[in-house]
Amino acid sequence: MASQGLTYDGCNFFRQRLVLSTLSGKRVKIRNIRSKDDNPGLRDFEASFIRLLDKVTNGTRIEINQTGTVLFYQPGLLYGGVVEHECNTQRSVGYYLEALLMLAPFMKNPLKAVLKGVTNDPTDPSVDQLKYTSIPVMKRFGIDGEGLELKVVKRGMAPGGGGEVLFTCPVRKTLRPIQLSEPGKIKRIRGIAYSVRVSPQMANRIVDSARSILNKFIPDIYIYTDHMKGDKSGKSPGFGLTLVAETLNGTFLSAEQVSTPQGQGDPVLPEDLGRNCAKLLLEEIYRGGCIDSANQSLALVYMTLGQQDVSKVLLGHLSPYTIEFLRHMRDFFQMMFKIETQKPAEDERKGGDKVLMTCVGAGYTNISKSIK
C-alpha cells in the first residue's frame, strides 16, 4: 500500500479525509488549515480527534508544523481494543463517534470505547440519534450480535459537557452487500425527550407539543422521557428531543432538536422545540430513502468496503456532506457509484426526489482479522 499520498487544502471535511486515509492506508497531507485566520491552525477539537485516531490505531505517524496549519498523517493499523477518550467540549461526542462507527468493524480487536464530553449539542448528531439510526444501519451490513452497543451512561449538555458514552463493536472479516430500494411505509414513531439540570416537566412539555403535530398522521407514537439526576446529569442545564420514524421495511428516519447551550443566544421554549423537531421529522420522511440523511456516508463507506458484489441503496436528497464524501471515496478507493435519480409519480405520495446509488464493493477484507 506504499502508494503516493494525497494532498488537500483547508480544514473542511477534515474527519472524512483522516477516516478514509486510515481505512485505505494512504497517507494524507492537509495544508493551509485556517492559514488566513486570526487564530490559524488546527482547533482543539480537531487535535482531540487526531488523538482519538492515534489511540485506536497502532503505528500511526502524525506530524504537525508549529503553527498547526499543515498536518501530515500516515495511518497505522486499526488496532481497536479498550479506549478511553476525553472529547473536546467544542464539539459533541457524536462528532467523534461518527468516525468510530466507520472504523470499528475493521479493527483487529473488538472496540470498547468510553468517550466523555458533550453528549447533546445543536451542531452534531447526538448519541441518541446515532443509537437509533446508525446501529440499525450497521446491522444491515451484518455487523451485529451482543457486542454491538451504544449507551449513554451520563448525559452532558453543551457547553459544560460531563457526559459519558459507551460504544462497543464487534469486528468483521467482510461486510455483506445490501439491496435496499423500498423504504416502505411509516409504521410507528418513537422518541426520547431528555432533560438535565432543569425541571423534569420540560420533557413532558416537549412530548405534548411534538405529539400535537404527529398525532394527525399516525396513532402509534411513543416518546420516552429521560431525566438524569445527580452525577449523571453533566455540568450544564438543557433539554432536547430525538424522534425516529420506523417503516415496515425496517428503515429508520430521524430528526432532533437541542436547547440553546447556556449563555449562547436566545433561550428556546420546550413547546417550540417539540414542534420544530416534529416538523423536521416530517421533512426527513418527505426526503425519505432507505437510510436517513445523517447516515448516508456511513452506508456508502460500508458499501464501498463490502464484498466484491453489487450493493444498491435508495437515498433521499444527497446532503452536501455526502456529495463531498463521494468525491473523497473516488480519491482514496477509486470508487465510483452509479447514481440514478428517481422522481416519484404524480399520484403517489412518495415525498421528494430519490437517488439510487449502486456500486460494486472493493472486496476489502479486514487483514488483521484471522479466520476462525
**Beta-carbon neighbour count of residue 264 at 10 Å?**
10
pLDDT of residue 312: 95
The confidence score (pLDDT) of residue 346 equals 67
* DSSP codes of every residue in 96-127: HHHHHHHHGGGSSEEEEEEEEE-SB-SSSPPH
Beta strands in the chain (DSSP E): 6-9, 28-31, 57-58, 61-64, 71-74, 77-78, 80-86, 109-117, 149-154, 163-169, 179-180, 186-196, 221-228, 238-247, 252-258, 310-315, 338-342, 354-360
pLDDT tens digits for the chain (372 residues)?
Answer: 445 689 999 999 999 999 999 999 999 999 999 999 999 999 999 999 999 999 999 999 999 999 999 999 999 999 999 999 999 999 999 999 999 999 999 999 999 999 999 999 999 999 999 999 999 999 999 998 889 999 999 999 999 999 999 999 999 988 999 999 998 899 999 999 999 999 999 999 999 999 999 999 999 999 999 999 999 999 999 999 999 999 999 999 999 999 999 888 899 999 999 999 999 999 999 998 999 999 999 999 999 999 899 999 999 999 999 999 999 999 999 988 999 998 876 666 678 889 999 999 988 877 665 444
Residue 113's nearest CA partner among 134, 84, 142 is 84
Predicted pLDDT at 163: 96
Q: Which three cell numbers stand for residue 192?
A: 426520547
pTM for the structure as a whole: 0.93
d(CA 230, CA 367): 45
Q: Give yes or no for a cis peptide into 40 (omega within 30° of 0).
A: no
3-state secondary structure 159-206: CCCCEEEEEEECCCCCCCCCEECCCCCEEEEEEEEEEECCCCHHHHHH
Cα Rg, the chain, nearest whole Å: 21
Three-class secondary structure of residue 81 per DSSP = strand
